Homo-oligomer: A and B are copies of this chain.
Amino acid sequence: MKVGDSSVRRRIVAFSNPTIRLLRGLRDKRQRQREGRFLVEGLRLIEDARAGGRLPEMLVVAQNRAHPPLLAEIEAAVAAAGGEVIETSAEILAKIAGKDNPQAVCGVYAQWETGLAALDPGSARLWLVAQAMRDPGNLGTILRTGDAVGAGGLILIDDCADPFSAEAVRASMGAIFSQRVARARWPDFLGWLRGQDSQGRQPRKSGQLVAASLRDAVPYRGAPYASPCFILVGNESRGLPVAYEAACDLRVTMPMRGRADSLNAAIAAAVLAYEVVASFDG
């Protein structure tokens, strides 16, 4: 295959260009949602995405830079798939990325379906569920942990940070492309978890919902985890609402030997997830 051909590139160096304006807008959550697109910075993540079967609709590369051969290969793949390759200045790339030293390449991807209906709870032994989590870095870290433990995906309840934000994508280290992500309201999530259809009948097995909690909890080590297990972690400062904890099948507690009474949410999710996986593997 012939690579290194930069003829597929369209050159844009005007800040006022509508495409550039659109790209800059993708740093804003509302605009990302309106456009149904998101931005991924850096060749490594773009290559991860390609390995997972996803190509950007648009690739933006810095002009006058020595690029690795891999980039030319990805450019060719994007063009062959009907996508667009844009070459622009370092200044404009910095504006798009919103930082002084941007990566030399970024990609624009279509967001995907994030409804629960498409997910089968029984397709994985373990799922992660975040409620009102506000830190996109935490969300991304949880996605990365989910990938490592072989989770089915991440389900976002209530008003969470945007998993398609640059910070979440970066912290996920590519797991945004391998983990499934769904957004749901709490009652809809519970119905789905319990295997109920829209008439309230239960055609399939219920998942087990587990919360890290201080109320009515058993030690997390050796607790009776059951597949498919859903680990629920709450908001960074408020934790889970009492009613949500009460709806869980299992409340587990982790030793706290210091002055603090809680762990970072992504840390708690990871320690629990590794415990659940170990208990399943016997």
Contacts and interface: CB of A to CB of B under 8 A. Distances in A.
Interface of A is mostly: helix
Given A221-B278, A274-B254, A52 B259 contact: yes
Contacts of A267: 141, 144-145, 266-267, 270
B175 A260 contact: yes
B148 A260 contact: yes
A48 B258 CA distance: 12
A281 B255 CA distance: 11
Interface bracket on A: 35 or more
A256 B221 contact: no
A147 B260 contact: yes
B255 A147 contact: no
Given A137-B137, A263-B145, A175 B258 contact: yes
Which of A149, A150, A179, A264 has the most chain B CB atoms closer than 10 A to its own CB? A264
Given A263-B270, A266-B267, A267-B267, A258 B178 contact: yes
Interface in A253-279: 254-260, 262-264, 266-267, 270-271, 274-275, 277-278
Given A137-B137, A267-B267, A271-B271, 7 more contacts: A144-B267, A146-B258, A148-B254, A150-B255, A175-B259, A255-B274, A257-B277
Can you list the 6 inter-chain pairs with the closest CB atoms, starting with the nearest? A150-B257, A147-B258, A267-B270, A271-B274, A141-B264, A147-B260
28 contacts: A48-B259, A51-B259, A141-B264, A141-B267, A144-B260, A144-B263, A144-B264, A146-B258, A147-B257, A148-B254, A148-B255, A148-B256, A148-B258, A148-B260, A148-B263, A173-B262, A173-B264, A175-B258, A175-B260, A179-B258, A221-B278, A254-B274, A255-B274, A255-B277, A264-B266, A270-B271, A271-B274, A274-B275
Interface of A: 48, 51-52, 137, 141, 144-150, 171, 173-175, 178-179, 221, 254-260, 262-264, 266-267, 270-271, 274-275, 277-278, 281
